[in-house]
Amino acid sequence: MLKIGWGAFTLFAGLFVQAQQVDWDKLNSSTVLDLMARQQTEQGLYGSSVLQIGDNNSAELSLNAKTNIAIQQLGDFNTLFFINSFTNQETKTAITAQGNNNIIDITGSNSISDGMQISVKGDNKTIFMRNY
């Protein structure tokens, strides 16, 4: 299981391959959205990625080897649980939470959820999804 739970700015996996192409001195609140869009586009080439901007965000992932997921949490106190380690099915998913105190809890993957994109905007939203 992968646990991520620190704030300010967490970026890994998908961009780690391209780190040499990112001008970190020019990265700010305006340019990070362009970087996120580029990361989302290139997700299929470089694997899963997590981007967190804010304080006290948490992402707990239990993934199978064929999972390709892009997660973006923008705001404070957002929590994501994503578990699909019970299957060998290939899954591509994109999840964005923009706001504060949002909870997204997803368990399982199937043909209906493959290619799913979830976008939560606002504060104090909760999504529970079970795919069996």
**Residue 5 forms part of a structural domain:** no
Overall domain count for the chain = 1
**Residue 66 forms part of a structural domain:** yes
**Residue 113 forms part of a structural domain:** yes
Buried b (16+ CB within 10 A) or exposed e, 47-64: ebbbbbbbeebbbebebe
**Residue 73 forms part of a structural domain:** yes
Coil/strand/helix, residue 119? strand
**Residue 70 forms part of a structural domain:** yes
**Residue 109 forms part of a structural domain:** yes
| pLDDT tens-place values along the chain, 132 residues long | 444 444 433 444 334 434 446 676 777 766 666 666 565 555 454 568 888 989 999 999 998 888 888 899 999 999 999 998 788 888 888 999 999 999 999 998 888 888 888 999 999 999 999 988
**Residue 96 forms part of a structural domain:** yes
Vertex 115, ends 131 and 122: CA angle to 5°? 80
pTM score, whole prediction: 0.67
**Residue 26 forms part of a structural domain:** no
Give the residue numbers spanning the domain of 97: 57-131
Residue 128: C-alpha distances to residues 15, 66, 86, 107, 108 (Å): 29, 22, 18, 8, 11
